Structure 1
Amino acid sequence: MQEPDNSPALHSDRRNNRRQLATLTTSKSISNLALRWVTAFLPTLERAFSTTTGTLTSILGLAELGGLSTTLVGRTLDRGRHRLIFVTSLLLVTASSVIALGGSIATFGIAMVLLLVGVSNLTVAGIAYIGERVSYSSRGRAIGTFETSWALSLLLGAPLLAFLIDRYGWRAAYIALALLNGLAAIAIFRSMPAPQAAGAATKTSLFGGLPRSAWPPLIASAAVAGAGMSIFVVMGAWLSDDYGLSVAGLGAIATGIGAAELASSSAVAVVADRIGIRRSVGIGGLLLGLGLVIIAISNYSVIIALIGLIVLVIGFEYGFVSSLSLMSEAAPQARGTAIAVGNAIATITRASLIVISGQCYERFGILGSATVSAAALCAAAAALISDRRRPVGQ
């Protein structure tokens, strides 16, 4: 990781910085897998808990509110205590996998809340950590690398979990996730630097202390996230209901989606800094919208449906990962707080749209969920347009 001259350095050795980024990315991949497999294998969990898509998506939507906990850690991050948040978050993800083994809707709900609290805070801490150590001109590369964790979790983890579920049942997936996240917590504790003495963080109110110019990039990022999740939350159910795909088939498609996401987030790392972060967010949004159109006209053709899904995934990943760099510079003087607030906005957006999308899917099929996604995408476009004159990276 490249360190700007005007930011504090925990390590001057670039090799150590690269190692820290690699450790963060690996740990984030493992925690993401604990979240992502749920929607990819939703039909499996429907059978395990003897429930419906609407019930599970409602639980997922309510559990998303656990992401509001990030508003409590913003000032902790501004004081440089990133390692504390990293380790605590991974331990929460570990605990969630253990609790889910209880096998009831109640234990699943509790597990999902803990999982979302852990994953959300790990994400916020990681982006804040990178934002304080990498100049804006190079931040797309660093955050793009960090966010390959989203793709890697599905690309590498989905086949493993599909094998475990097929061979040993759904509980085997949770046991594996508990072990992996526990090991990740140990690795982070051993490899990341302890907090150093830092100046007092600027004392501001949670929301009122952010400048007005900070809000459009935060809203744009949240809306892009909501647009993607509106489809992802019903993806497994849609492919199973309309095309009769089995667990193995869903695992194969999840792996393909992971490959598309990896290519997309890697593209952010390679080109976003050169063509501009805002432009990258816009390009991602256009591709996401194109994917929605293809899905809407698929008419029960599995080939067209999968093409639309892949285009949507590529657009979402490229646009959303780019938006994180934009969000990290929304309020440089209170970066941890701004990112935490941005995540809270995204949490409310995702939670609302997950529930709405799930209910619309049960009533109208994939067209209902696609309509919800399109509305969120329009909101993202409006926020991005209003942010076009804000100077960044100065």
Structure 2
Amino acid sequence: MMQQGIVRGRNETSAKSLWPFMGAAFCGKLTVNTAKRMMYPFAPAIARGLGVDLGAVTAVIALNQASSLAAPLVVMLSGRIGYRLLLLYALMLFCIAMTAAGLIPVYGIVMAAFLVTGLSKSIIDPVFQAIAGTLVPFEKRGRAIGIMETAWAGSSLAGLPLTGILIERLGWQAPFWLFAALSLACFYAVLSLLPRDMPKTKVPRNRQGKRSLLPETWKTVLKEPAARQMMLFAFFICLANDNLFVVYGIWFEHSFNLSLTAIGFGAVLIGLSEVAGEMFTVFFSDRIGLKRTIISGTLAVSLCYCLLIWTGNFLWPALISLFMVFFTFEFTIVSSMGLATELLPQHRASFLSLYFASTGIGRLVGVISGSFLWEHAGLEGVCILSGTVSLLGLLALLKRPG
């Protein structure tokens, strides 16, 4: 049933045949997302556990985001070994990395583990987006992408609060063991549910019928103005978000004297906002139109960043403003994913890999800028930059090719 559903073409594919695998995919994405995001709210605790300063942990976060630059290589790998093996390799590599971080509390090992976490996510995300773009009709794609991306919200809603409890009660290494166990379970789920003969990515060919080199495919994609505009939008909108998110933990710890468990449960609010944003995408983005949703969402998130300047010193107003920031950002970025899947259907996998690389570069720059601005300009400087670059992203998206 599962195998038949995947092998059939887009118009013949039964949505029901995808649900068992999507459940396993959700679990795997939830685990990797939680591991990737744990450094943001718990950076001070991990720095104390490793005996290093906060700047050293920020470097780990930046390295984690830099690993997103590997996303374009997914196209080449999926064309050679197929989606199934690629996912299995990513999950097993992640499991080994988490086990090593749990066993060996050394800065270099932990840094390597988070680099592997970023690499694993860089493999998992574009592969699933490409599958959705291939199997789900465009008029329903916003809903499909929204459902898949609830794993990102789930990391804040459930993963980070549990991580905070584990760190406070069992030590900062305890979450790594949980991540290793969950990723191993997901490995066996994917091994069982995904058919061996799932189609591989079609590697583009040149006029002579020979396989094109991957950089040649990128050149084809980058010649398209719409592709460049979407990549710039993804860069700016993700820069803005991580510029704020990287200081979230230290901001709440210093300004409101919250415990690790409280900071972890504060992430529940972020998770709820992300779920709300994803559900907005599921139920409304296709009706409103993906581009209209993106435009309105970008304007709204820019305003919400600015509101934090006045509410950031008061706990409940700050929490409400933070909820609105992540709600508006989430339905904006998820809607942009849906639109990205249809921009260049003939080069979908290549473009999506470059799109995710753009988000990764944006987040990398955001981590660096947020840490710098927090030290030199405080929360106000962080929020002003986030609001400004969000608007720059919108201008890049709406610019008419000239």
Aligned counterpart for 2:111 among listed residues 86, 109, 112: 109
Report the Cα distance in structure 2 between the residues aligned to 1:42 and 1:292, rounded to whole angstroms: 22
Whether the aligned pair in 2 keeps the contact of 1:32 and 1:153 (CA below 8 Å) is yes
Q: Does 1:286 align with 2:287?
A: no
Aligned counterpart for 1:207 among listed residues 187, 194, 218: 218
* Residue aligning to 1:384: 397
How does 1:79-118 map onto structure 2 within 5 Å? Answer: 81-101=82-102, 102-118=104-120
* Residue aligning to 1:51: 52
Identity among equivalent pairs (%): 25
What TM-score, normalized by structure 2, do the two folds share?
Answer: 0.89
* Residue aligning to 1:339: 352
SS in 1 for 2:219: coil
Whether the aligned pair in 2 keeps the contact of 1:8 and 1:133 (CA below 8 Å) is yes
Q: Does 1:146 align with 2:148?
A: yes
Deviation at 1:183, TM superposition (A): 1.1
Report the Cα distance in structure 1 between the residues aligned to 2:96 and 2:236, rounded to whole angstroms: 30
* Residue aligning to 2:34: 33
Which runs of 5 or more residues in structure 2 are unaligned?
206-211
How does 1:171-320 map onto structure 2 within 5 Å? Answer: 171-196=173-198, 200-203=202-205, 204=212, 205-210=216-221, 211-212=223-224, 213-298=226-311, 300-320=313-333
Whether the aligned pair in 2 keeps the contact of 1:353 and 1:372 (CA below 8 Å) is no
Which runs of 5 or more residues in structure 1 are unaligned?
390-394
Alpha-carbon deviations, 1:14-36, whole Å to 9, x = none? 32222222222222112111112
Q: Bigger CA drift: 70-79 or 321-330?
A: 70-79
Deviation at 1:345, TM superposition (A): 1.8
Deviation at 1:13, TM superposition (A): 4.2
Whether the aligned pair in 1 keeps the contact of 2:10 and 2:137 (CA below 8 Å) is no
Aligned counterpart for 1:167 among listed residues 157, 166, 169: 169
Whether the aligned pair in 1 keeps the contact of 2:285 and 2:293 (CA below 8 Å) is yes
Alpha-carbon deviations, 1:246-267, whole Å to 9, x = none? 1121011111211111111111
Q: Bigger CA drift: 40-49 or 177-186?
A: 40-49
Deviation at 1:150, TM superposition (A): 0.3
Whether the aligned pair in 2 keeps the contact of 1:154 and 1:258 (CA below 8 Å) is yes
Deviation at 1:134, TM superposition (A): 0.7
* Residue aligning to 2:138: 136
Alpha-carbon deviations, 1:308-328, whole Å to 9, x = none? 111101011111111111121
Q: Does 1:374 align with 2:370?
A: no
Whether the aligned pair in 2 keeps the contact of 1:215 and 1:330 (CA below 8 Å) is no
* Count of residue pairs brought into register by the alignment: 387
Whether the aligned pair in 2 keeps the contact of 1:97 and 1:175 (CA below 8 Å) is yes
Report the Cα distance in structure 2 between the residues aligned to 1:148 and 1:244, rounded to whole angstroms: 30
Report the Cα distance in structure 2 between the residues aligned to 1:35 and 1:58, rounded to whole angstroms: 14
Deviation at 1:39, TM superposition (A): 1.0
Report the Cα distance in structure 2 between the residues aligned to 1:126 and 1:268, rounded to whole angstroms: 17
Report the Cα distance in structure 1 between the residues aligned to 2:25 and 2:342, rounded to whole angstroms: 20
Whether the aligned pair in 1 keeps the contact of 2:160 and 2:264 (CA below 8 Å) is yes
Q: Bigger CA drift: 317-326 or 299-308?
A: 299-308
* Residue aligning to 1:8: 9
Deviation at 1:12, TM superposition (A): 4.2
- Aligned-residue Cα RMSD (Å) equals 2.5
* Residue aligning to 1:23: 24
| Distance of aligned partners of 1:61 and 1:243 in 2 relative to their CA distance in 1, 3 Å threshold | same
Report the Cα distance in structure 2 between the residues aligned to 1:200 and 1:53, rounded to whole angstroms: 44
